[in-house]
Amino acid sequence: MKLQDNYDVGIYCRLSRDDHNGTLESMSIANQRQVLVDYVTEKGWTLRDCYIDDGYTGTNFDRPDFKRMIHDAEIGKIDCIITKDLSRLGRNYVEAGYYTEEYFIEHDIRFIAINDGIDTMHDNNDIAAFHHVLNEFYPKQVSKKVRQVKKKSAEQGKFMGSQAPYGYMKSPEDKHILIIDEDAAIVVRRLFNEFANGDSARMIADKLNSEGVSTPRFYHYEKLGKTNPLTEEKNVWGSATILQLLRNQVYIGNMVQGKRQVVSFKTKKMRQVSPENWIVVENTHVPLVDKSLWERVQEKLGKHHKKIRRTKNENVGLFSGIVKCSDCNMPLAYMRKHLKDREKGVYRCSRYNNNGSGACSSHYIDEEYISAFVLDDIRNYAQLAVEKREELAEKLYRALKKTNSSEISTLKSKVKSIENRLFEINDRIKNLYEDKCLGKIPEDVALSLMQNFTSEKTELETKLPALKNKLVNMDETVGNINEWLNMISAYENITELDREIVCGLVESVTVFEKDRSTTPVTQEVKIEYRFIKNLLQNEKEDIA
């Protein structure tokens, strides 16, 4: 990076709820901007644009004006970026470190954090790494304290959710107390009574849909006078929604919370918590149904659960988990159909089963038809593998190599990045230990930094083997072609399929809706094989 007399500068300001002292003038956007403008003016440089992300967390870089700034830097509009301090750039030390130590330097962009004395034009920026770690440490501690407070409140029976359960609303006097929402409560009580009296969840859902009753999500936004932001979602009740409500203890006055938790303070991604770790506090609010009705419903739900999970002879379908819907990509549900003289297996779209015709069509198909179709396809390819093996193998080699090359390149790049980061962490841990021993930094700071580096190292060392293994598997996929050809060749004279053969050879079977405009009625089915996916789709015709 060359020293210049003048720079085209972009100044970057950020403030979020993470910064609890953000109400102070020294932290305000206006103050940040003024400090940066004064700095640029003093230097005599050219201020090209001001980029502001007000209300965006620093724990990730998914911010609109930050992205706009990076775009402007890449097209040459700016060649210098200035922030008041490093924490304004970001509080995720891995990503922030990537920009200050790699990206800005590689793209010949000068970066300056005024208060922290960081300037990528110079080589004395080693302290930046410690700034990044400490900047991340702050929101991590804040997040930990917030979680502890929320957990304590939940254990006291206070409602901590953002949206009250269907049938309730938050009390205007205290948002942590649930009170009955009579309009929705009528529907909830109806669900329990009708299910207890013999109606199935599907029947109840159909009645609600025919009457135009809004689903819980649509009802919530209607009360707010807003439109459901999930524009693709349909206002259609499904049996899954009914069953979920019938199992919720909130309707007998119990507060059940802590069912999900955030994976990390750096992300909004959630994960499910096992039921034994849920926070359950009894009798926290007025129930909508009495205990006797609740118990009748739960008893029926238990029987229903056992019934839908197993067929009469305790067997799964030949293609269960493999056959899927062409329109919604959901699995087709397997069931046994009773005829006068026998039973037969059939498949139907699970989304249609759950939500009815408003969600998808049935994609109904007999297991006998799929079995005959797949059996014939396997025999045809087995015959080609025996009679024209070299020609088929050559086509598969070319197709697989073309398909895998891009993904292999991406995986290799990720592996290299992790290995470089591990090398860097090991070096920093060593230097950190030496600085602690020499008294250059306090022991408590050193221990905190060491813990963060060690934690990241463990996480990366856990990810690396999986990526390498996937890379090896992809490199070996081409070599697996001969093995696949040998395997399918063995089925040239097969007369019947079983579950083992299907799972061993077939990745998926996609079923399309029947075309009733033709005579006779036709139905399209597509097969993807393991190892080679749908690469054989056009090879049979080309080779035969």
Predicted local confidence at residue 265, as pLDDT = 45
pLDDT score of 475 more than 60? no
pLDDT score of 139 more than 60? no
Of the given ranges (29-43, 237-251, 529-543), which has the lowest mean pLDDT? 529-543
Same domain for 474 and 506, yes or no, is yes
Mean pLDDT value across residues 493-511: 85
Mean pLDDT value across residues 201-229: 86
Query: Is 470 part of any domain?
Result: yes
Same domain for 389 and 247, yes or no, is no
Predicted local confidence at residue 154, as pLDDT = 74
CATH, residue 195: 3.90.1750.20
Residue 5's φ and ψ, nearest 5 degrees, are: -80, -30
Predicted local confidence at residue 50, as pLDDT = 94
Show which of 304, 325, 360 is a domain's final residue.
304
Mean pLDDT value across residues 261-286: 70
CATH, residue 60: 3.40.50.1390
- DSSP-derived 3-state class of residue 296: helix
Q: What is the mean pLDDT of the chain?
A: 80
pLDDT score of 468 more than 70? yes
pLDDT score of 170 more than 80? yes
Cβ burial, residue 436 (10 Å; 0-12/13-18/19+): middle
Predicted local confidence at residue 136, as pLDDT = 54
Show which of 304, 335, 359 is a domain's final residue.
304
Show which of 253, 280, 304 is a domain's final residue.
304
Predicted local confidence at residue 480, as pLDDT = 61
- Judge contact between 342 and 377, C-beta under 8 A: no
Domain count, the chain: 3
Query: Is 72 part of any domain?
Result: yes
pLDDT score of 250 more than 70? yes
| Selection from 244-248, 385-389, 405-409 with the highest mean pLDDT | 244-248
Confidence class for position 184, pLDDT limits 50, 70, 90: very high
Same domain for 201 and 225, yes or no, is yes
Helix (H) or strand (E) holding 12: strand 8-15
| Selection from 179-183, 432-436, 535-539 with the highest mean pLDDT | 179-183
* Beta-bridge partners for 51: 12
Predicted local confidence at residue 80, as pLDDT = 94
Same domain for 350 and 251, yes or no, is no
Percent of the chain residues past pLDDT 70, beyond the cut: 80
Query: Is 451 part of any domain?
Result: yes
Confidence class for position 257, pLDDT limits 50, 70, 90: confident
Same domain for 419 and 490, yes or no, is yes
Same domain for 315 and 283, yes or no, is no
Query: Is 163 part of any domain?
Result: no
Predicted local confidence at residue 541, as pLDDT = 43
Predicted local confidence at residue 312, as pLDDT = 45
Mean pLDDT value across residues 523-541: 69
| DSSP per-residue codes, 125-152 | -THHHHHHHHHHHHHHHHHHHHHHHHHH
Pick the closest to residue 51 from 61, 461, 59, 302 (CA basis): 61
* Beta-bridge partners for 221: none
Distance from C-alpha of 98 to C-alpha of 86, rounded to nearest angstrom: 13
Provide the token pair at 353. Answer: 């089963």
Mean pLDDT value across residues 133-152: 61
Same domain for 275 and 333, yes or no, is no
Provide the token pair at 212. Answer: 């135009």
Helix (H) or strand (E) holding 345: strand 343-349
Distance from C-alpha of 486 to C-alpha of 55, rounded to nearest angstrom: 60
Distance from C-alpha of 466 to C-alpha of 262, rounded to nearest angstrom: 23
Measured torsion, CA atoms of residues 302, 305, 311, 314, in degrees rounded to the nearest 10: -60
Residue 277 sits at the vertex; the CA angle it makes with 162 and 140, to the nearest 5 degrees, is: 60
Predicted local confidence at residue 336, as pLDDT = 87
Provide the token pair at 85. Answer: 């301090």
Is the bond preceding residue 520 a cis peptide, omega within 30 degrees? yes
Report the chain's C-alpha Rg in angstroms. 31
- Judge contact between 373 and 497, C-beta under 8 A: no
Helix (H) or strand (E) holding 30: helix 29-43
Query: Is 1 part of any domain?
Result: no
pLDDT score of 146 more than 70? no
Predicted local confidence at residue 131, as pLDDT = 53
Of the given ranges (18-22, 99-103, 152-156, 486-490), which has the lowest mean pLDDT? 18-22
Same domain for 295 and 385, yes or no, is no
Same domain for 315 and 417, yes or no, is yes
Query: Is 175 part of any domain?
Result: yes
Residue 353's φ and ψ, nearest 5 degrees, are: -55, -40
Same domain for 129 and 263, yes or no, is no
Distance from C-alpha of 36 to C-alpha of 87, rounded to nearest angstrom: 15
- Residue range 302-337, pLDDT digits in tens: 754 434 334 444 456 889 888 999 999 888 988 888
pLDDT score of 141 more than 90? no
Query: Is 152 part of any domain?
Result: no
- Residue range 85-123, pLDDT digits in tens: 888 888 776 777 788 888 888 888 999 988 888 888 876
Q: Which amino acid is at 134?
A: L
DSSP H stretches of helix in 225-289: 239-246
For residue 198, give every residue at least 6 positions away whose Cβ sits within 8 Å of its Cβ, in sequence order, or none.
none
pLDDT score of 176 more than 60? yes
Provide the token pair at 427. Answer: 């070096």
Same domain for 273 and 138, yes or no, is no
- Residue range 426-452, pLDDT digits in tens: 888 888 777 777 778 887 787 788 888
Rounded to whole angstroms, what are the CA distances from 299 to 189, 292, 304?
17, 11, 9
Query: Is 270 part of any domain?
Result: yes
- Judge contact between 472 and 282, C-beta under 8 A: no
Give the number of other CB atoms < 10 A from CB of residue 486: 11
Helix (H) or strand (E) holding 344: strand 343-349
Same domain for 349 and 478, yes or no, is yes
> In the 8-state DSSP scheme, what is residue 276?
G
- Judge contact between 160 and 261, C-beta under 8 A: no
- Judge contact between 229 and 217, C-beta under 8 A: no
- DSSP-derived 3-state class of residue 507: strand
Pick the closest to residue 28 from 37, 15, 47 (CA basis): 15
Helix (H) or strand (E) holding 476: helix 443-477
| Selection from 75-84, 143-152, 290-299 with the highest mean pLDDT | 75-84
Distance from C-alpha of 392 to C-alpha of 385, rounded to nearest angstrom: 7
Mean pLDDT value across residues 375-381: 89
The residue that leads in pLDDT, 168 or 116, is 168
The domain in which residue 177 lies consists of: 168-304
pTM (predicted TM-score)? 0.40
Confidence class for position 134, pLDDT limits 50, 70, 90: low
Confidence class for position 155, pLDDT limits 50, 70, 90: confident
